[in-house]
Structure 1
Amino acid sequence: MSDTDTVADYEVVVVGGGPAGLQSALYTTRLGHDTALVDRGGGRAAMMLDTHNVIGVTEDTSGNEFLATGTEQVESYGGDVIRDLITDIERTDDGRFYLEGSSNAFRADRIVLGVGFSDKHPDPPVPRTGKGLHYCLHCDAYMFVDRPVYVMGTGEATAHVAMIMLNFTDDVDVLLRGDEPEWSDKTDEQLRAHPIDIVESDIDGMNKSDNGWLESFEFEDGSIRQYRGGFAMYGSNYNTALFETLGCELDDDGTVIVDESMETTVDGVYAVGDITDGHNQIPVAMGKGAQAGIDIHYQLREFPRDLEEIRAEGPVTETEVPGVSDRVQNAAASFEEAQAPPIEAPAPDATAEVDAEADAIEPPSDD
Structure 2
Amino acid sequence: MSSVDDEYEIAVVGGGPAGLTTALYGARLGHETALIDRGGGRAAMMADTHNVIGVTEEVSGNELLETGREQVESYGGTFERGFVTDVTETEEGRFRLTTNDAEFLADRVVLATGFSDERPDPPLPRNARGLHWCLHCDAYMFVDEPVYVMGHGEVAAHVAMIMLNLTDDVDLLTRGAEPTWSEETAAQLESHPVDIVHEDVAGVENDPDSGWLEAMEFEDGSRREYRGGFPMYGSDYNTALAEGLGCDLTEGGEIDVDDHGRTSVDGVYAVGDVTPGHNQVPVALGQGAKAGIALHKDLREFPRSTEEIARDGPVSEEDVPAISPELLATAVAHEGHAGGPRTEAGADSEAERPAADDD
TM-score, with length taken from structure 1: 0.90
Cα distance, 1:46–1:125 mapped onto 2, change above 3 Å = closer
Whichever residue aligns with residue 86 of structure 1, its letter is V
Deviations 1:76-113 (A, max 9, x none): 00000110110001000000000001122100000001
Partner SS, residue 170 of structure 1: coil
Whichever residue aligns with residue 296 of structure 2, its letter is H
The answer to whether the Cα contact below 8 Å between 1:39 and 1:84 also exists between their aligned partners in 2 is: yes
Whichever residue aligns with residue 13 of structure 2, its letter is V
Compute the displacement of 1:313 (Å): 2.5
The answer to whether the Cα contact below 8 Å between 1:125 and 1:206 also exists between their aligned partners in 2 is: no
Counterparts of 1:26 and 1:234, CA distance in 2: 33
Deviations 1:303-343 (A, max 9, x none): 10111221232211000000111121021122138961489
Partner SS, residue 336 of structure 1: coil
Could you tell me which of 52, 55, 68 is aligned with 1:54?
52
Is 2:332 aligned against 1:340?
Answer: no
In structure 1, list runs of 5 or more residues that go unmatched: 344-367
Is 2:74 aligned against 1:76?
Answer: yes
Counterparts of 1:194 and 1:265, CA distance in 2: 43
For 1:41, the equivalent position in structure 2 comes to: 39
Aligned-pair identity in percent equals 62
Is 2:251 aligned against 1:252?
Answer: yes
For 1:353, the equivalent position in structure 2 comes to: none
Counterparts of 2:274 and 2:343, CA distance in 1: 44
The answer to whether the Cα contact below 8 Å between 1:152 and 1:230 also exists between their aligned partners in 2 is: yes
1:110-129 equivalence runs, <5 A: 110-124=108-122, 126-129=124-127
For 1:285, the equivalent position in structure 2 comes to: 284
For 1:109, the equivalent position in structure 2 comes to: 107
Counterparts of 1:214 and 1:10, CA distance in 2: 47
For 1:63, the equivalent position in structure 2 comes to: 61
For 1:304, the equivalent position in structure 2 comes to: 303
The answer to whether the Cα contact below 8 Å between 2:19 and 2:272 also exists between their aligned partners in 1 is: yes
In structure 2, list runs of 5 or more residues that go unmatched: 345-359
The answer to whether the Cα contact below 8 Å between 1:113 and 1:271 also exists between their aligned partners in 2 is: yes
Partner SS, residue 243 of structure 1: helix
Partner SS, residue 150 of structure 1: strand
| Structure with max Cα Rg | 1
Compute the displacement of 1:36 (Å): 0.4
For 2:152, the equivalent position in structure 1 comes to: 154
Whichever residue aligns with residue 103 of structure 1, its letter is D
Alignment root-mean-square deviation, CA: 1.5
For 1:360, the equivalent position in structure 2 comes to: none
Could you tell me which of 171, 178, 194 is aligned with 1:173?
171
Counterparts of 1:262 and 1:129, CA distance in 2: 34
For 2:212, the equivalent position in structure 1 comes to: 213
Compute the displacement of 1:289 (Å): 0.7
Counterparts of 1:145 and 1:56, CA distance in 2: 23
Counterparts of 1:226 and 1:87, CA distance in 2: 44
For 2:136, the equivalent position in structure 1 comes to: 138
Counterparts of 2:123 and 2:43, CA distance in 1: 23
The answer to whether the Cα contact below 8 Å between 1:52 and 1:59 also exists between their aligned partners in 2 is: yes
TM-score, with length taken from structure 2: 0.92
For 2:355, the equivalent position in structure 1 comes to: none
For 2:91, the equivalent position in structure 1 comes to: 93
Whichever residue aligns with residue 186 of structure 1, its letter is E
Compute the displacement of 1:72 (Å): 0.6
Counterparts of 1:168 and 1:337, CA distance in 2: 43
Deviations 1:273-312 (A, max 9, x none): 0000000000001111111110010011011011122123
4+ aligned runs moved over 4 Å, structure 1: none
The count of aligned residue pairs is: 341
1:304-323 equivalence runs, <5 A: 304-323=303-322
